[in-house]
Amino acid sequence: MARNIVQYIFYRFMQSVLSLFGVILIVFILSRILPGNPAVAILGPKATPENIERVTREWGLDKNYLDQFTIYISRLFRGDLGDSYVMGYSVSRLIMERLPASFELVITAFILSLAIGIPLGILAARRHDTKLDLILTSLAVMSFSFPSLLLGVLLLIFFGVNLGLPVGGRIDPRYSINFYTGFVILDTLLNGNIAAFFDAFMRIIPPALTLAIPLAGLLLKLSRNSILEVMMQDFVRTARMKRLPENVVMYKHILRNALLPIVTVAGLYFAVLVTGDIVVETIFAWPGLGRLVWEAVTLRDYMVIQGSVLVISIIYIAINAVVDILYIYIDPRIRG
Amino acid sequence: MNMNKLDSFKELLKIKRVRYGISILTFLAILSISVIFFSPYEYDQISYKIHLPPFTPSDRAWPYIFGTDNLGRDIFTRTFYAFILDVSCGLAIIALSGSIGLIIGLVSGYLGGTVDSILMRIMDIVISIPGFMLAIAIAAVLGSSIFNAIIAVVIVTIPIYARLVRGIVLSVKESLFILAAREAGLGSLSIIVKHILPHVIPTFITQATMELSNAIIYIAALSFIGLGAQEPVAEWGLMISSARRYVREAWWPAVFPGLAMFLTVLSFNLIGDGLRDYLDPKKRVSISG
């Protein structure tokens, strides 16, 4: 059995490597079918002939496509995604600067969605087939039809205009804080600056909610159905027959069995959040990777678009692989 | 499934979700058609009356029902022009990616062997890349236009259908009736069309309905970040994107297109969800409501 797991992990790992290779290949092909000279796409429309010549040499643009691809991949492995001609930095530096903001937002959203979705799912299951259940499940269905475009705008209006709270960006620029972790919420606390912490906290809630609500709806529905399914099983009836208190049955018997698979499903959606945040970061001027994509599109900075697409895809593939592998540890049925 | 078409349609309408979905869509479609024919405003008609709130009376036949935007255009007119545009884009996307995916799935599943492995590896790779990112990369290369955005979304969504169809083909390929048809001397093409396709169609249509709302969301999101429709076209994502900057002064230019988009997406999801339960009786038990 252990052998099977090792085999499975190896197989899954190779699958991810193949996907990564596919992503790189597709992005490479796309960059080469770009109309015009690829060197101009790298350097921008104001490129000088000397620079075009230098870039043509560096990226091997005068060689055949196979050589070009080899050069492309070897540069990639050195973390070299090219330079942004508009912003004047290397693309990898731009991405590394933006990455913590995106992670902070996505992790907060993920925690929020678990904190909203699972308890409501438990509530709906306990009161199943009542009015409350109907309301909660209907809300859940609606929440994942809710476009983040609309939800984001509504929350922006609600928090920013109706409640008059600070919205947009990560933190008011007048607070100067030292960065230790790259996560503003933690860093403000580490600086001992409570006012700055509250400012940062208020600003992360609306974008995080925008990302979290559809996922919370999904978790609500999944956990409700999963709990109901477990409730029908024999061991639960046995536990009830033993006259165990209802809370013990619920939390020790039912939830443990019903929620573990849900949490892993949630892991897969963590990856979805990573891509979903382009729209959200744009609406809330959140200076993360998604906002970088939007800025690059606006500035027609193709190298940055390409680099961000690569990095986000790599993160997505990595998270999916990790969740898949974790799943076999959690759900013994798969190991079989 | 032996009922005639009208009966099965009536049966389908008995599902509440389908009824709600169809009613909302009909309502929106009627509004859009009346806007196109009777609205006293053009969707791209700029005026000096900027950011008028909803229901402001006007010297024209209709008041500004949803108000005006930052260029003084009537938002009601724009929102329902956008309904036609976005739903047409969605339909175009599922028609294109659905038919390409259908062919790939049928060929791959029926032929098996090397063709199957090659096609499916490609599909696996495409599906393992986050769809929206790939769509951005493709649309950025092709250039910002609604047409290119459609192409990008089509490419990204083909594998969904291909894998679905292939799965169904594999499950019926070895059935007795297929073997019998082959023994009777039927060619591959007629076996696929006459005997396999009917098994694929119901699930395929359900999936396509669900994908319609995704397609609309994709198009709106691409337009929102600047890779789809361009001004002055009326498109929900673009409208929200232009209104976003002024949202503190005027909420209506952003909220009404968003609501129309929400209702449309919700309706297609409701219909798709109902269709799925209708075709798969097992699901009716576990998901109530």
- Tell me the pLDDT tens digit for each residue of B6-47: 677 777 788 888 899 999 999 999 999 999 998 888 888 888
What residue type is assigned to position A126 of the chain? R
**DSSP structure string for B53-121:** PTTB--SSSS-BTT-B-TT--BHHHHHHHHHHHHHHHHHHHHHHHHHHHHHHHHHHHHH-HHHHHHHHH
Q: Is B92 on the interface with A (CB under 8 A)?
A: no
Q: Is the pTM of this model over 0.90?
A: no
Distance from C-alpha of B152 to C-alpha of B155, rounded to nearest angstrom: 5
Residues of B in contact with A313 (CB under 8 A): 129-130, 133-134
* pLDDT (0 to 100) of residue A331: 62
* pLDDT (0 to 100) of residue B263: 94
In a domain, B82, yes or no: yes
Q: Is B53 on the interface with A (CB under 8 A)?
A: no
Residues of A in contact with B213 (CB under 8 A): 145
**Contact yes or no for A150 and B255 at CB 8 A:** yes
The model's confidence at residue A315, banded by pLDDT at 50, 70 and 90, is confident
Q: Is there a contact between A238 and A254 (Cβ–Cβ < 8 Å)?
A: no
Decide if pLDDT at B284 tops 50: no
Asked which of B28-32, B145-149, B283-287 is least confident by mean pLDDT, the reply is B283-287
Asked which of A48-52, A103-107, A310-314 is least confident by mean pLDDT, the reply is A48-52
For residue B135, what is the nearest residue in chain A, using CA coordinates?
A309
Which SS3 state, helix, strand or coil, does residue A90 take? strand
Helices B75-111 and B197-224: crossing angle in degrees, nearest 10, is 140
Residue in B132, B259, B287 nearest the CB of A225: B287
Convert the pLDDT of each residue in A152-173 to its tens digit.
Answer: 999 999 998 888 888 878 887 7
Asked which of A279-288, B111-120, B220-229, B270-279 is least confident by mean pLDDT, the reply is B270-279
Considering only CA atoms, which of A171, A157, A158, A179 is closest in space to residue A202? A171
Average pLDDT of the residues in B233-241: 92
Average pLDDT of the residues in B233-247: 90
Residue in A156, A229, A305 nearest the CB of B247: A156
Instruction: Give percent above pLDDT 90 in chain B.
Output: 38
In a domain, B188, yes or no: yes
Give phi and psi for A17, each to the nearest 5: -60, -40
For residue B134, what is the nearest residue in chain A, using CA coordinates?
A309
In a domain, B62, yes or no: no
**Contact yes or no for B125 and A150 at CB 8 A:** no
CATH of the domain at B222: 1.10.3720.10
Q: Is there a contact between A224 and A283 (Cβ–Cβ < 8 Å)?
A: no
Shortest Cα distance from A297 to chain B (angstroms)?
7
Average pLDDT of the residues in A164-183: 78
Q: Is B43 on the interface with A (CB under 8 A)?
A: no
**Contact yes or no for A145 and B261 at CB 8 A:** no
Distance from C-alpha of B128 to C-alpha of A25, rounded to nearest angstrom: 13
**Contact yes or no for A138 and B247 at CB 8 A:** no
Instruction: Give percent above pLDDT 70 in chain A.
Output: 93
Higher-confidence position of B280 and B209: B209
Higher-confidence position of A207 and B286: A207
* pLDDT (0 to 100) of residue A105: 92
In a domain, B220, yes or no: yes
Residues of B in contact with A146 (CB under 8 A): 262
Tokens 């290369």 label which residue? B141
Residue in B121, B138, B221 nearest the CB of A149: B221
Preferred mutation among B79, B120, B133 to probe A, highest tally of A CBs within 10 A: B133
Decide if pLDDT at B2 tops 50: no
For residue A283, what is the nearest residue in chain B, using CA coordinates?
B244
Distance from C-alpha of B169 to C-alpha of B185, rounded to nearest angstrom: 20
Q: Is B225 on the interface with A (CB under 8 A)?
A: yes
Preferred mutation among B83, B128, B266 to probe A, highest tally of A CBs within 10 A: B128
In a domain, B257, yes or no: yes
Decide if pLDDT at B116 tops 80: yes
- Average pLDDT score over chain A: 82
**Contact yes or no for A157 and B269 at CB 8 A:** no
Decide if pLDDT at A99 tops 60: yes
**Contact yes or no for A141 and B273 at CB 8 A:** yes
In a domain, B16, yes or no: no
Shortest Cα distance from A191 to chain B (angstroms)?
32
**Contact yes or no for B126 and A145 at CB 8 A:** no
Q: Is B262 on the interface with A (CB under 8 A)?
A: yes
Distance from C-alpha of A284 to C-alpha of A209, rounded to nearest angstrom: 12
Give phi and psi for A131, each to the nearest 5: -60, -45
* pLDDT (0 to 100) of residue B286: 41
Domain limits for position B98: 31-43+75-286
In a domain, B224, yes or no: yes
Residue in B126, B130, B262 nearest the CB of A145: B262
Average pLDDT of the residues in A5-9: 81
**Contact yes or no for B133 and A309 at CB 8 A:** yes
Residues of A in contact with B126 (CB under 8 A): 22, 26
Give me the interface pTM, i.e. the ipTM: 0.85
Domain count, chain B: 1
Average pLDDT of the residues in A297-313: 86
Decide if pLDDT at B288 tops 50: no
* A-B C-beta contacts closer than 8 Å: 144
- Average pLDDT score over chain B: 87
Average pLDDT of the residues in A244-263: 77
Decide if pLDDT at A70 tops 70: yes
Decide if pLDDT at B240 tops 50: yes
Q: Is there a contact between A165 and A202 (Cβ–Cβ < 8 Å)?
A: yes
Residue in B227, B240, B265 nearest the CB of A145: B265
Asked which of A135-144, B162-171, B259-268 is least confident by mean pLDDT, the reply is A135-144
Count Cβ neighbours within 10 Å for each residue of A64-90 and write b for 16 or more, e otherwise.
eeeebbeebeeebeeeebbbbbebeeb
Tokens 């291909």 label which residue? B162
Q: Of chain B residues 264-283, which have a CB less than 8 A from chain A?
A: 265-266, 269-270, 273
Preferred mutation among A18, A26, A141, A150 to probe B, highest tally of B CBs within 10 A: A150
In a domain, B23, yes or no: no
Distance from C-alpha of B104 to C-alpha of A44, rounded to nearest angstrom: 39
